[in-house]
């Protein structure tokens, strides 16, 4: 017998056995019980495909920086059109899966395919507006960071820009009634940047997250124009009401309102439906659960002594 064949058979005979058939059977039983509680299995949108779609949409929005390096000046429009067509078509299928899942969750949807087509059409029309908003965000990052050497460096390197790019598109889907895909897109950015922005958050133009790691922005947060956040800032909820059965009450405005021209420094935590007045500066590591008037400068010492305006609470 060939020595190599002998060695291979010896290795195969020495392999441990995993009792795969029994494990598969147990997993099947658990899966069946789970499906029974949720009225059968449902095929969900694919995270991997959404990552691919987001890369394609980003390339269509910024073809010369995030697209292929082989685009000629004459071929840019063709590349953008082709890239949009391919990725919007893929998005259509993922939306159909979301709406079929929603329909299976006892929410009445007459035609998931027709609804998905309408949402993708509306989403596509919003892309120029999203690109214009992103231009203001990129400019804010460049103007606000002395280490930034160029607009292009900001676009391709800054995690805050990556996060807000995903958010601008996820927010459109969220508003159009596709919260699952929107949340998945937000979590794709969260995984790659460490910045957690719920797609429901409303964010004005010229938004800049510097460094970014650990930033959390809740679902009902409202952020005005020209706002800058540093790393580890939390714009969160103060408390979570429950119903008579002890279950969390979903929805409701529970996150901060941050008005125009506000700066929130590293590690600050702002909780509840409070308002941070226009032009205010919130110092590093401040824990804030009260509104502050426009033009405020809040430090840790002021918070400890409560030496500032006691505005509306949550």
Q: What is the pLDDT of residues 5-47, one digit of tens each?
A: 777 776 766 667 778 899 999 999 988 887 776 655 568 999 9
Show the domains of the chain with their CATH numbers.
45-194 (1.10.3130.10), 214-303 (2.160.10.10)
DSSP string, 104-171: HTT---S-HHHHHHHHHHHHHHHHHHHHHHHHHHHHHHHHH-TT---HHHHHHH-HHHHHHHHHHHHH
Name the pLDDT band for 311 (thresholds 50, 70, 90): very low
Of 102 and 58, more confident: 58
112-144 helix and 76-104 helix, angle to the nearest 10 degrees = 120
Q: What is the pLDDT of residues 149-174, one digit of tens each?
A: 999 999 999 999 999 999 999 999 99
Asked whether residue 309 carries a pLDDT value surpassing 70, the answer given is: no
The rounded mean pLDDT for the chain is: 89
Q: Say what the pLDDT of residue 305 is.
A: 67
**Residues 108, 125: Cα–Cα separation, whole Å:** 26
For range 238-244, the mean pLDDT? 80
Q: Say what the pLDDT of residue 313 is.
A: 32
| Integer-rounded Cα radius of gyration of the chain | 24
**Residues 162, 196: Cα–Cα separation, whole Å:** 12
Its pTM stands at 0.86
Q: Say what the pLDDT of residue 32 is.
A: 84
Q: What is the pLDDT of residues 190-200, one digit of tens each?
A: 999 999 999 99
| H or E element at residue 57 | helix 47-61
For range 104-110, the mean pLDDT? 55
Name the pLDDT band for 244 (thresholds 50, 70, 90): confident
For range 237-257, the mean pLDDT? 85
Q: Cα 296 to the chain's mean position, in Å? A: 30
Name the pLDDT band for 60 (thresholds 50, 70, 90): very high
Asked whether residue 314 carries a pLDDT value surpassing 50, the answer given is: no
Q: Which of 18-27, 93-102, 130-139, 298-307 has the lowest mean pLDDT?
A: 298-307
| Cβ count within 10 A of residue 2 | 7
Q: Say what the pLDDT of residue 310 is.
A: 44
């Amino acid at each position: 017998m060939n020595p190599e064949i002998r060695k291979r058979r010896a290795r195969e005979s020495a392999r441990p056995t995993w009792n795969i058939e029994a494990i598969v059977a147990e997993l099947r039983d658990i899966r069946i019980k789970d499906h029974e509680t949720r009225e059968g299995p449902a095929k969900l949108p694919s995270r991997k495909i959404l990552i691919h779609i987001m890369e394609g949409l980003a390339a269509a929005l910024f073809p010369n920086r995030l697209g292929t390096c082989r685009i000629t000046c004459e071929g840019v429009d063709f590349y953008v059109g082709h890239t949009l067509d391919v990725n919007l078509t893929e998005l259509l299928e993922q939306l159909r899966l979301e709406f079929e899942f929603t329909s299976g969750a006892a929410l009445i949807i007459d035609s998931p395919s027709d609804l998905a087509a309408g949402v993708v059409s509306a989403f596509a029309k919003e892309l120029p507006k999203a690109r214009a908003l992103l231009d203001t965000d990129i400019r804010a990052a460049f103007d606000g960071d002395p280490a930034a050497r160029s607009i292009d460096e900001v676009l391709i390197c800054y995690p805050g820009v990556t996060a807000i790019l995903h958010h601008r598109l996820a927010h459109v889907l969220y508003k159009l009634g596709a919260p699952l895909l929107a949340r998945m897109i937000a979590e794709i950015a969260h995984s790659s940047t460490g910045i957690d922005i719920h797609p429901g958050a409303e964010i004005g133009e010229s938004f800049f997250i510097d460094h970014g790691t650990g930033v959390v922005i809740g679902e009902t947060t409202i952020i005005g124009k020209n706002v800058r956040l540093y790393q580890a800032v939390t714009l969160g909820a103060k408390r979570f009401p429950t119903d008579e059965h002890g279950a969390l009450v979903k929805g409701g405005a529970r996150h901060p309102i941050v008005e125009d021209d506000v700066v929130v420094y590293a590690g600050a935590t702002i909780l509840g439906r409070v308002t941070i007045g226009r032009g205010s500066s919130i110092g590093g590591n401040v824990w804030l659960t009260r509104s502050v008037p426009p033009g405020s400068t809040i430090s840790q010492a002021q918070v400890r002594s409560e030496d500032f305006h006691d505005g509306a609470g949550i």
